[in-house]
Amino acid sequence: MAEASVASSEAPYPKPAYAWLVVVVLIFAALIAFIDRQVVAIVVDPMKEDLGVGDAQIGWLYGVFAVFYAVAGLPIAWMADRKSRKHIIAAGIFLWSFMTMACGLTRNFWQILLARIGVGVGEATLSPATTSLIGDYFPREKIPLALTVFQIGPVVGSGIAFVIGGLVLSIVENTEPLVLPWFGELRPWQQTFVYLGLPGVVLAFLFLLIREPVRRMLPGSSGASPSNRETIEFYRDNFKTLALHHFGFLSLNLMGYAFVFWTVSYFVRVHGYEAATASQIFGWIFLLAGPVGPILITLLARRLNDKGHADGNITAGMIGGLFAFVFILMIQFVPSAAWAFALYVPAMAAVNSPFGIAAGALPVITPPHMRAQIAAIYMLVGALGMMIGPPLAGAFNEYLFPGPEGVRYSLITLTCMFGSIAAACLWFCRRHYAVSMAQADERFADA
């Protein structure tokens, strides 16, 4: 279906059942995205051995993904505010899935680094286009819940990545080598990339079947997409709110990505587990506990908002981050793998809990015609967590805390540093967010 050309604040919203069906499809897209994003964390040690690289370089396979994921998000958001969002997302799904498969066909570190750039550019389509799409499928008051439900996709996808990735790795480690024409024999970690990249290619074509919703504008708007000047003015008018929001959740993102990326290596090095076994156990914990946190924190935010706390979205996100801080530290001090796995249940609920409401807190204070661009800017800032967290922890492992136990001391250091920064930023953000919320209420009351 062609891009909906009508821009209106009065057109009826799509039927709720269809709107939620689209959210489900978007969840599957996010699920596949995070499987393809996280697979590199599963095969760290066999990949290091074959490529002859250290922890810091392996961390940069996540870092370079994050750089291009963030930078590409800005021009993609510009397109999402103007062009068909379903076509943008479908093209992105195909690109990141194809490049994930390409990661398995590489022969050296630099080739896989280039393939990871392609994965990052492809995945950059999803967040800004989805924010814009959901903003036109749902009334304003339902957007935070819809975006939080969408965020279940990344959480579940991460869990499935570790479960299926660990399973695929264990299977291919015990089967005959796969030999392809032109590419030769593929090692088990290479086959894991190839097999996990395939489903997204199919989903890319299925995504073309959804309907593009009517674009919505506030009364008095020209119907045009936002200029750079309008976006800058919005940031200027809400600078304290957005700066403290972005850097607070960035710090939690950095802390969380470092923790998740090095989890399998933590169990391999500290507790003596096989990578495939640790990956599957951790994956099931992630899959079952991870989605609980974002839903609970969003319900808490809604309850606070219903009681008249205009800062409820930020307060709830801050509470989730504090729980994550506590559980990550506790895990590093337990004496056995059994205790560590037990504590991972509340830890994974807490680590994932702030990010649904972090994304959902923005559209409700943002004019509809610039939601994709604001989402992309937040994505750019938040992606620094992916870019910095895993390689910084890897550098700490290699240079500050060498040896098998070093990974736990690296995580203690990073958690204390960035957890404290996050708590301070979000605490001070609360008052400014309440002001921005009141201003947005006035704008939308006239709509």
**Could you tell me if residue 438 is inside a domain?**
yes
**Could you tell me if residue 10 is inside a domain?**
no
pLDDT of 102 = 92
**Could you tell me if residue 4 is inside a domain?**
no
**Could you tell me if residue 217 is inside a domain?**
no
Pairing verdict, β 184-186 and 178-180: antiparallel
**Could you tell me if residue 218 is inside a domain?**
no
pLDDT of 2 = 40
**Could you tell me if residue 220 is inside a domain?**
no
**Could you tell me if residue 316 is inside a domain?**
yes
CATH number of domain containing 197: 1.20.1250.20
Residue pLDDT tens, the chain, 447 long: 444 444 455 567 889 899 999 999 998 898 888 888 877 877 777 788 888 888 778 778 877 888 888 888 888 888 887 788 999 999 999 999 999 999 988 888 899 999 999 999 999 999 888 888 888 888 877 887 888 788 777 777 777 777 777 777 777 667 777 777 787 778 888 888 888 888 899 999 989 998 888 876 655 454 455 567 888 899 999 999 999 999 999 999 999 989 988 888 899 888 888 877 888 888 889 888 988 998 899 899 989 988 989 999 999 999 999 999 999 999 999 989 899 999 999 999 999 899 888 988 898 898 877 877 888 788 778 778 877 888 888 889 888 898 888 889 999 999 999 999 999 999 999 999 999 999 888 876 655
Output DSSP code: residue 399: I
Q: Which residues contact 224 (CB under 8 A, 6 or more apart)?
A: 369
Residue pair 81/221 in contact by the 8 Å Cβ criterion:
no
Beta bridge partners of 347: none
**Could you tell me if residue 221 is inside a domain?**
no
CA torsion 404-413-348-405 (nearest 10°) is 10
Q: How many domains does the chain have?
A: 1
pLDDT of 172 = 65
Residue pair 61/112 in contact by the 8 Å Cβ criterion:
yes
In angstroms, the CA 331 to CA 324 distance is: 11
Boundaries of domain holding 382: 16-209+230-445
In angstroms, the CA 154 to CA 28 distance is: 9
Residue pair 1/207 in contact by the 8 Å Cβ criterion:
no
pLDDT of 402 = 85
pLDDT of 434 = 94
Which burial class, exposed, middle or buried, applies to 163 when counting CB atoms under 10 A from its CB (0-12, 13-18, 19+)?
buried
